[in-house]
A and B are shown apart, each in its own frame.
Chain A
Amino acid sequence: MQLDTKKLATATKPKNVASALTAASLALLGSAAKAEGDFWDFSKDWKFNTGGLYYGEQDRVTAVEGVFNATREASYNDKFSFKLVLDSLTGASPNGAVAQTDIQTFTRPSGRGQFDVAAGEIPLDDTFRDTRVQMNAQWTTPRGEDKLVNYGLHFSKEYDYLSVALNGGMSWDFYNKNSTLSAGLSIAMDQFEPEGRIPYAFAAMVIDEGQFANQDAYNQAFDATRRIDSDDKDTTDLLLGWTQIINRRTVMQFNYSYSDVSGYLTDPFKVVSVVDAQGVAQEHLYESRPDNRTKHSFFWQTKYHMDNSIADLSVRYMTDDWEIDSVTLEYKHHFLWENNSYLEPQFRWYQQSAADFYTPYLIEGQVMPEFASADSRLGEFSAITLGLKYGWRTQGGSDMALRLSLYQQTAEDVLSSHPGDLASLDIYPELTAVFLQYTYDF
């Protein structure tokens, strides 16, 4: 008897019964069956989400972004999602040069044309304009009893920039799904071919102040500062995460991420001014950054569900080998109201130290450093974000949300004293920005 049943058991093993059963049960349930049916039938089971974002910096960059998201649950736990993002950026951004007591003239990054900056003003390059298309495809699928795997593809194109990335990850559930361990890997390749080509590191900006005999002489001088090739960078990101349900009300998450970027990491549109002992700019050198950056990031988040609201506190600590250390502290409180609406105030505080090669300017006659950048994003600063989000459900059952945030960034002086006129000038840009975001799920 024992032998017989064993033999029978093994006899049924090699067949894939599951797929044949799908056909048989669909036949029984009829074609009208809203069976989640054919896995590869991409004509059904979609959910959509769209959104718009307005980002405006005071007197600087304005960005408008549109997002379209489509998610298809092919079956339980099997999910395909596609995302399309369109960004448009216009406006002015600091080009790295230092403010002066006199009017200043700069050459545009393309080499064609100039712009002037008033005395006492932080130089802004107003030719900042870009449109970006981003596409993401992601597939999440179960493996075995308690695992989910995901694969993804990312593509991003700007006028002078192309980025392609691949990612993969896995998550494991433990202890009746009270714990989840996740791991992910992403590899990205970016190619960069800027308007006006890539300048050589520390090449001085060629500015036409009447010293050139003709246009050809200027062009020749400008071209001498430019490389003829494009450049690229490779990024590898690793993520390890642990999510723990502490009790019925509390969920905690820990993430560690490691990121390694190598290749061309310099901003080809940014310069560093060289000033004399009186603080007067003598020339502006195109900046130069190391060709590798390694970051470690640690993240902790706790969400606590109260009866009608959720408290959400998170802390992130990031450190990299450019000596930038940053801390982000964020608190959001999600108030749930009747009729599926909610209000979510947000407070975020951010602080970072400066990169070791960051300097607001270089001083003539001093030893040239190996790397230098005056990009204020690499400087020492703190920032506060205050926001409010309101979400509601329409009569038709769609979810909408509106978020308004204000961002204020304050720079810290990394130098103890400044030569000449620079001591009396505001050389660090302040930044105030507003975000307005709208999302619609249908």
Chain B
Amino acid sequence: MKNNAEISLDKTDYGFVGHFKAMASPCECLIESDEQKLALQLTQIAANEGWRIEKKFSRYLKGNPCDQINQSNGQPVAIDSETFQLLSFADACYQLSDGLFDITSGVLRRAWQFKPGAKFPDKEFIDSLLPLIGWKKVTFDENSVCLPPSMEIDFGGIGKEYAVDKAAQLVAEKAPEVSVVVNFGGDLRVTCPPKNKPRWQIGVDGKSGTTERAVSLSVGAVCTSGDTERFIMHEGKRYSHILNPKTGWPAKNAPKTVTVLADQCLQAGLLSTLAILNEENAESFLQEQGVQYHCYY
């Protein structure tokens, strides 16, 4: 694993903040408690859960269930119940979004790179990848999954959100009375309302200390999709790094970032991603969902 299995703790005016790295993101636990020992325990619980889920479902790590499925070359692969549940959730997202959310769309990264100076791909290459995308070609049940040859699955769109929800759940079981913000690189969940203030004020871009784009919430989750730095400009249009699995093309004319507040991180994360895929209709999509959101253009 490339992450240091290290955590650190700092004293703050509300209690403690624990830091660690997971899923290639800076992570933190804001803990409303003056008990240092408890704060350390809670940070460790959140970090362990983040690292566990990363190790099990990251597509970059060899030998884990995700890798086994991607290397299966059309053969059924045995799965455990957690993997089954995550696949079931991905399936629900695919159905609910009419295919706009598809965990088999990761192959498009072969064509698209969103870093400064990256080349704009040609249409033929993108079109050649489209037959490798399509969740409906995947079959799975409680015991096994079967993925057609050359296709790939990628839990990237839900893995971090899942990890935040699970970590928050474990933290809440350990200390049900303590308000903790579990924040994995800007996707976060508050376990219960804080006692010493009405709500937490948190920067949405994952950088602590930024108040420019902040949300306040007492309980629930916040997720942000899109990125102010990862995009590609082509013929005067701004292309987001979020790709439409049906066309192979990035969302364009969408808000730079979309932040959604919801009960769980999984829900907030998916709604913010789908909002960007709705491009210029992002806000009307979110309004119909009846959720609180912030769009930055």
Q: Which stretch of B56-64, B103-111, B269-277 is in the interface?
A: B269-277
Which residues of the other chain, A, contact B293 by a CB distance below 8 angstroms? 145
The smallest C-beta distance from A209 to any residue of chain B, in angstroms, reads 62
Contact of B166 among A26, A29, A36 (CB under 8 A): A29
The reply to whether A27 and B247 form a contact with Cβ atoms under 8 Å apart is no
Tally of contacts, chain A with chain B, CB under 8 A: 153
Which residues of the other chain, A, contact B220 by a CB distance below 8 angstroms? 36, 75-77
The smallest C-beta distance from A307 to any residue of chain B, in angstroms, reads 10
CA distance A392 to B82 in the complex (A): 45
CA distance A45 to B192 in the complex (A): 8
Max chain A Cβ within 10 angstroms of own Cβ: one of B244, B263, B266: B263
Is there a chain B Cβ closer than 8 Å to A399's Cβ? yes
Is there a chain B Cβ closer than 8 Å to A24's Cβ? yes
Contact of A4 among B169, B172, B246, B251 (CB under 8 A): B246
Q: Chain B 158-197 against A: per-residue CB contact (8 Å), 1 yes, 0 no?
A: 0000100110010011001100000000000011110110
Within A1-44, the residues touching B (CB, 8 Å) are 1, 4-6, 8-18, 20-22, 24-29, 32-37
The smallest C-beta distance from B245 to any residue of chain A, in angstroms, reads 10
Given the known A-B contacts A29-B169, A76-B263, are A177 and B100 also in contact in the complex, defined by CB atoms under 8 Å? Answer: no
Q: Which stretch of B1-9, B136-144, B282-290 is in the interface?
A: B282-290
The reply to whether A37 and B263 form a contact with Cβ atoms under 8 Å apart is yes
Is there a chain A Cβ closer than 8 Å to B12's Cβ? no
Is there a chain B Cβ closer than 8 Å to A144's Cβ? yes
Is there a chain B Cβ closer than 8 Å to A91's Cβ? no
The reply to whether A34 and B177 form a contact with Cβ atoms under 8 Å apart is no
Which residues of the other chain, A, contact B294 by a CB distance below 8 angstroms? 145
Is there a chain A Cβ closer than 8 Å to B216's Cβ? yes
The smallest C-beta distance from A319 to any residue of chain B, in angstroms, reads 33
The reply to whether B290 and A16 form a contact with Cβ atoms under 8 Å apart is yes
Q: Chain B 253-275 against A: per-residue CB contact (8 Å), 1 yes, 0 no?
A: 00000000111101100110010
Which residues of the other chain, A, contact B217 by a CB distance below 8 angstroms? 76-77
CA distance A161 to B294 in the complex (A): 48
CA distance A315 to B212 in the complex (A): 32
The reply to whether A34 and B85 form a contact with Cβ atoms under 8 Å apart is no
Is there a chain B Cβ closer than 8 Å to A365's Cβ? no
Is there a chain A Cβ closer than 8 Å to B122's Cβ? no
Which residues of the other chain, A, contact B53 by a CB distance below 8 angstroms? none
Is there a chain A Cβ closer than 8 Å to B150's Cβ? no
Contact of A25 among B89, B172, B290, B291 (CB under 8 A): B89
Is there a chain B Cβ closer than 8 Å to A394's Cβ? no
Which residues of the other chain, A, contact B162 by a CB distance below 8 angstroms? 28
Which residues of the other chain, A, contact B213 by a CB distance below 8 angstroms? 176
The reply to whether A17 and B97 form a contact with Cβ atoms under 8 Å apart is yes
Is there a chain A Cβ closer than 8 Å to B281's Cβ? yes
Which residues of the other chain, B, contact A45 by a CB distance below 8 angstroms? 219
Contact of A18 among B191, B279, B289 (CB under 8 A): B289
Which residues of the other chain, A, contact B221 by a CB distance below 8 angstroms? 76
The smallest C-beta distance from A237 to any residue of chain B, in angstroms, reads 24
The reply to whether B281 and A13 form a contact with Cβ atoms under 8 Å apart is yes
Could you say which interface size class chain B belongs to? 35 or more
Contact of A397 among B177, B218, B261 (CB under 8 A): B177
Chain A contact residues, majority secondary structure: mixed
Whose C-beta in chain A lies nearest to the C-beta of B289? A18
Is there a chain B Cβ closer than 8 Å to A424's Cβ? no
The smallest C-beta distance from A399 to any residue of chain B, in angstroms, reads 7
Contact of A177 among B173, B216, B219, B263 (CB under 8 A): B216
Given the known A-B contacts A35-B264, A75-B219, are A16 and B288 also in contact in the complex, defined by CB atoms under 8 Å? Answer: yes
The reply to whether A1 and B247 form a contact with Cβ atoms under 8 Å apart is yes
Within B181-236, the residues touching A (CB, 8 Å) are 190-193, 195-196, 211-214, 216-221
CA distance A414 to B264 in the complex (A): 65
The smallest C-beta distance from B196 to any residue of chain A, in angstroms, reads 7
Which residues of the other chain, A, contact B252 by a CB distance below 8 angstroms? 5
Given the known A-B contacts A28-B89, A145-B292, are A5 and B279 also in contact in the complex, defined by CB atoms under 8 Å? Answer: yes
CA distance A9 to B92 in the complex (A): 18
The reply to whether B172 and A12 form a contact with Cβ atoms under 8 Å apart is no
Given the known A-B contacts A17-B97, A18-B291, A76-B261, are A47 and B193 also in contact in the complex, defined by CB atoms under 8 Å? Answer: yes
Which residues of the other chain, B, contact A14 by a CB distance below 8 angstroms? 288
Given the known A-B contacts A9-B277, A34-B172, are A76 and B218 also in contact in the complex, defined by CB atoms under 8 Å? Answer: yes
Is there a chain B Cβ closer than 8 Å to A340's Cβ? yes
The reply to whether B195 and A5 form a contact with Cβ atoms under 8 Å apart is no
CA distance A388 to B285 in the complex (A): 52
Max chain B Cβ within 10 angstroms of own Cβ: one of A5, A32, A37, A47: A5
Given the known A-B contacts A22-B263, A29-B264, are A12 and B89 also in contact in the complex, defined by CB atoms under 8 Å? Answer: no
Max chain B Cβ within 10 angstroms of own Cβ: one of A11, A17, A33, A34: A17
The reply to whether B290 and A20 form a contact with Cβ atoms under 8 Å apart is no
The reply to whether A177 and B214 form a contact with Cβ atoms under 8 Å apart is yes
The reply to whether B279 and A73 form a contact with Cβ atoms under 8 Å apart is no
Which residues of the other chain, B, contact A47 by a CB distance below 8 angstroms? 193
The smallest C-beta distance from B223 to any residue of chain A, in angstroms, reads 12
The smallest C-beta distance from B232 to any residue of chain A, in angstroms, reads 15
- Given contact pairs A18-B271, A24-B266, enumerate 5 new A-B contacts (beta carbons under 8 Å): A16-B288, A18-B262, A25-B267, A28-B85, A145-B293
A residues with a Cβ closer than 8 A to B are 1, 4-6, 8-18, 20-22, 24-29, 32-37, 45, 47, 73, 75-77, 142, 144-145, 176-177, 340, 397, 399
21 chain-A/chain-B pairs, Cβ below 8 angstroms: A8-B244, A9-B278, A11-B98, A12-B98, A12-B100, A15-B98, A17-B96, A17-B271, A18-B262, A18-B271, A18-B289, A18-B290, A18-B291, A20-B96, A22-B263, A25-B89, A28-B88, A36-B220, A77-B218, A145-B293, A176-B213
B residues with a Cβ closer than 8 A to A are 85-86, 88-89, 92-93, 96-98, 100, 123, 162, 165-166, 169, 172-173, 176-177, 190-193, 195-196, 211-214, 216-221, 244, 246-247, 249, 251-252, 261-264, 266-267, 270-271, 274, 277-279, 281, 284-285, 287-294
